[in-house]
Amino acid sequence: MPSPASHPSTTAIVLVAAATDDGAPAALLAWEQTTILRRLLDQLVSLGVAHVHLVTRPAFADAVDADLASFTGLEVELHPSATIADDLREIGAIAAEGRDTLIVVNGDIVTHREALAGLLADPRVSTGVLSTGGRTGRPFTFRMRNRRGRIVGANSAYHYCHRSNLSFLGVLKVSPAERPTVVAQCAELARLADAPPPSWVEEHDFKALRWRQSLARSELRAAARLAEEDGRAVPEGTPVAGEEYPAAVLAAVELPLEREQELRRRLAAGREDAGALVLVGLVRAGAPLGNSYLRELFWARPLSQADVAAAQERISEFDEDKVLLDTAVKATDGFFTTFFVSPYSRYIARWAAHRGLTPNQVTSFSLLLGVLTAAAFATGERWGMITGAVLLQLAFTFDCVDGQLARYSRQFSQLGAWLDSVFDRTKEYVVFAGLAIGASRTGDSVWLLAGAALTLQTVRHMFDFSYAAAAHQVIAAEQPMPLAQAWDSVNKPLPPGETRDALARADAASVAATEPRQQLRARLAAGALRSWRRLDRQDAIRWSKRVIAFPIGERFAAISLTAALWSAHTTFVVLIVCGGGAAVYGLAGRLLRSVAR
């Protein structure tokens, strides 16, 4: 199913700065019958990008110009730039010129078109990044920190953010409203890049050490694995399970030539990554940055022909349509939705997509089924209760289909999100009314129970929305660190010659200086949260926690089952008991998280 194109006035800045071992631009490496750069530009054209500013090194300019000589359908403007500081100045100048959406992307990345579409075509992410929570691209992609759907910290070759949980995949989308921020931050970043502060140099050296240790660790583990398979003694210094190689052991490892070359390529590419620095600038300016997940699609940044060959082999193993269909299902869905609805609803979503149906049409149909459910329940007859139970499950199925259709076909809209939320509440409350009316017809007045169930559910939704709003207010109120400071910390910038360990000690001393009782509460709450999250590693406990939260799938399943087998009275008692338990569970978790901050 082809994705809808992004806005036709979208402008892209494509960065061609990373080099291969022989000094050629990595973006011009051969890919099938074309090059990596031309493949990327083809994808951007198909997504509605009409104007590209190509920022590249003067030594690459002729080769890039020759590669694009026969390229049609796109207006390309070449910007020779000698250093990363000049790259930043070029980006700032381009951002100052236009008023449309701006895309900043590395010209040497290889990914599925649908991965780009997930960011470019989603109007809900006006400013954001392509990201992954998995190990794709690690350890050489730069890490970020995501809180409640917003990027609040970012790495570059010269910056570090603590508690990172996502990887930046080299594609940045900037809304027209944030263009002035890009202009201002690029000017400051360029000034700093001309003469990097000591903390930047230290952070770069620290990353180089960590990346080398990562490669050395891989070599040692491979050697230990081979020794074990051949029945030989495991090499001396191999740690037991759960332990780590000492730094001295890693430092003594002599990397093979290809690993040394890989390390040099990645370090050089990191130093030339202006997109990562622009991202740091936006984050530290407090810009609201969302993210679009790669999901299970392919991504790579090949910097040698051997990397290209490996990437071509891996990407050929992907069934893009199957991946899109599988990942149309939300990973955070409840137990009932995941195991009893999504296994078939995703195929209804694909059927709807191929017939041109929109998510809003499916949402409206789901609401109609909800109204019919209420009408069936309102009869008070056994046949009506059974019919209503079946109709409610159909309504919920199509409630899942609309979101899966939106994710599969990239048909996102603010209106659709609002309709989905409002119609969900409307279906649920009209079903309550239908059950109460039907019970009254049989002489069993349950209006008090219905009112209690409706009030409880309304309060739960109020808790959800108010907590989310408060959390976003806290994020927005946080003071970002200056760009000259490498470490993303509340402490003062690192003095020259100080190490990250010194800053960690300063953090510990700062915590110790706080009021003892408050410190104890925060530590106990944080410990409890860590233990509680650790339990998520066990599938049974993780799914049990989702059932206890009593999400909409479980609520509709409970309504259908109790109404079909028993009565409206039983339905409302179950809703009140289970909903009350879920409210207490949710409130306790939020209080714990609030105290732990």
Lowest-pLDDT choice from 205-219, 254-268, 482-496, 537-551: 482-496
**Lowest-confidence region among 113-117, 154-158, 269-273, 326-330:** 326-330
Q: Which of 407, 363, 366, 413 is nearest to 1 (CA)?
A: 407
Q: Out of 289, 324, 359, pick the residue that ends a domain.
A: 324
pLDDT in tens, 501-523: 555 555 555 545 555 655 566 66
Residues 157 and 211 in one domain: no
The whole domain housing 404 covers: 333-476+514-596
Q: What integer pLDDT is reported at residue 7 of this predicted model?
A: 46
Rounded-to-integer distance, Cα 400 and Cα 345, Å: 7
Please tell me whether residues 261 and 287 are part of one structural domain: no
Q: How many other C-beta atoms can be found within 10 angstroms of the C-beta atom of residue 461?
A: 14
| 305 and 248 belong to one structural domain | no
Within a domain: 504:
no
CA atoms lying within 13 Å on the CB side of residue 57: 17
Residues 74 and 49 in one domain: yes
How far apart are alpha carbons 450 and 452 in whole angstroms?
5
Question: DSSP secondary-structure letter at 480?
Answer: P
* 389-422: pLDDT as tens digits: 999 999 999 999 999 999 898 888 878 888 888 9
- Judge if 46 and 189 occupy the same domain: yes
- CB contact set of 350 (below 8 Å; sequence gap of 6+): 1, 325, 408
Structure confidence at residue 494 (pLDDT):
46
Average pLDDT (362-383) is: 97
> Does a structural domain hold residue 500?
no
pTM of the predicted model as reported, rounded to 2 decimal places: 0.86
The neighbour count for residue 469, using CB atoms within 10 Å, is 10
Q: Are residues 93 and 41 in the same domain?
A: yes
DSSP secondary structure of 113-130: HHHHHHHHT-TT-SSEEE
DSSP class per residue in 524-547 = HHHHHHHHHHHGGGSHHHHHHHHH
Angle at 569 (CA atoms; ends 568, 573), nearest 5 degrees: 115
| Domain total in the chain | 3
**pLDDT score of 516:** 60
Out of 132-141, 175-184, 208-217, 450-459, pick the least confident.
132-141
Please provide the size of the chain in residues.
597
Dig out the tokens for 89 from the structure: 């100045």
Least reliable range by pLDDT among 33-37, 96-100, 339-343: 96-100
Chain centroid to CA 574: 36
Q: Which of 286, 304, 324 is the last residue of a domain?
A: 324
Return the bridge partners of 54, or none. Answer: 14, 78
Give 40's pLDDT tier (boundaries 50, 70, 90).
very high
Contact 8, 100 (CB under 8 A): no
**Is it the case that residue 441 has pLDDT exceeding 50?**
yes
Q: What is the DSSP letter of 159?
A: B
The per-residue pLDDT of the chain, averaged, comes to 88
Note the pLDDT tens digit of each residue in 420-437. 889 999 999 999 999 999
pLDDT at 45: 92
DSSP per residue, 303-321:
-SHHHHHHHHHHHTT--HH
Summarize pLDDT for 69-118 with one digit per residue, the tens: 878 778 899 999 999 999 999 999 999 998 899 999 999 999 999 999 98
Residue 475 confidence (pLDDT)? 73
Q: Which of 291, 307, 324 is the last residue of a domain?
A: 324
Please tell me the distance from the alpha carbon of residue 95 to that of residue 89, in angstroms, as a whole number.
10
DSSP string covering 399-428, please? Answer: HHHHHHHHHHHT---HHHHHHHHHHHHHHH
Question: Does 422 map to a domain?
Answer: yes
CB 264 within 8 A of CB 19: no
Query: Both 208 and 294 in a single domain?
Result: no
For residue 91, being part of any structural domain is answered with yes
Residue 499, in any domain of the structure? no
Please give the distance of CA 103 from its chain centroid, rounded to a whole number. 18
Beta-bridged to residue 153, according to DSSP, are: 145
Q: What confidence score (pLDDT) does residue 137 get? A: 75
| 208 within 8 A of 110, measured Cβ to Cβ | no
CATH number of the domain that residue 130 is part of: 3.90.550.10
DSSP letter at 362 equals H
Closest CA to 169 of 300, 297, 290, 17: 300
CA distance 574 to 572: 5
What's the confidence (pLDDT) of residue 427?
Answer: 95
Rg (CA), the chain: 27
How many Å apart are CA 426 and CA 404, to the nearest integer? 20
Same domain assignment for residues 392 and 531: yes
Regarding whether 448 and 307 lie in a shared domain, the answer is: no
Give which of 45, 18, 34, 63 is closest to 312, Cα–Cα.
34
| Structural domain includes residue 497 | no
Q: Contact 119/12 with Cβ under 8 angstroms?
A: no
Q: What is the pLDDT of residue 496?
A: 44
pLDDT at 242 over 60: no
Confidence of residue 276 (pLDDT cuts 50, 70, 90): very high
Cβ–Cβ < 8 Å for 52, 12: yes
CB 305 within 8 Å of CB 110: no
- Enumerate residues 6+ apart whose C-beta is below 8 A from 280: 154, 155, 156, 159, 189, 483
Residues 147 and 219 in one domain: no
Give me the amino acid identity at 99: R
Q: What distance in Å separates the CA atoms of residue 304 and residue 347, rounded to the nearest whole number?
A: 40
Q: What is the pLDDT, as a whole number, of residue 115?
A: 93
Q: How many helices (H) and strands (E) does the chain have?
A: 22, 15
The string of pLDDT tens digits covering residues 303-327 is 999 999 999 999 999 988 898 898 8
What is the structure's pLDDT at 113? 93
- The residues pairing with 491 across neighbouring beta strands, listed in sequence order, are none
Lowest mean pLDDT among 351-355, 370-374, 532-536: 532-536
Q: Tokens in use for 334?
A: 């409840």
* CA dihedral of 389, 395, 397, 400, whole degrees rounded to 10: -140
36 pLDDT more than 90: yes
The answer to whether position 509 is within a domain reads no
The answer to whether 54 touches 107, Cβ cutoff 8 Å, is yes
Reported as half-sphere exposure (CB side, CA atoms, 13 A), residue 4 has a value of 17
Are residue 179 and residue 220 in the same domain, yes or no? no
Q: With contact defined as beta carbons under 8 Å apart, do 303 and 107 qualify? A: no
pLDDT at position 420 is: 85
Give me the CATH number covering residue 547: 1.20.120.1760
At residue 479, what is the residue type? Q
Closest CA to 353 of 330, 379, 324: 324
Quick check: is 207 in a domain?
Answer: yes
**144 shares its domain with 240:** no
- Asked if the model's pLDDT at residue 5 lies above 70, the reply is no
* Average pLDDT for 326-354: 93
**pLDDT band at 490, cuts 50/70/90?**
low
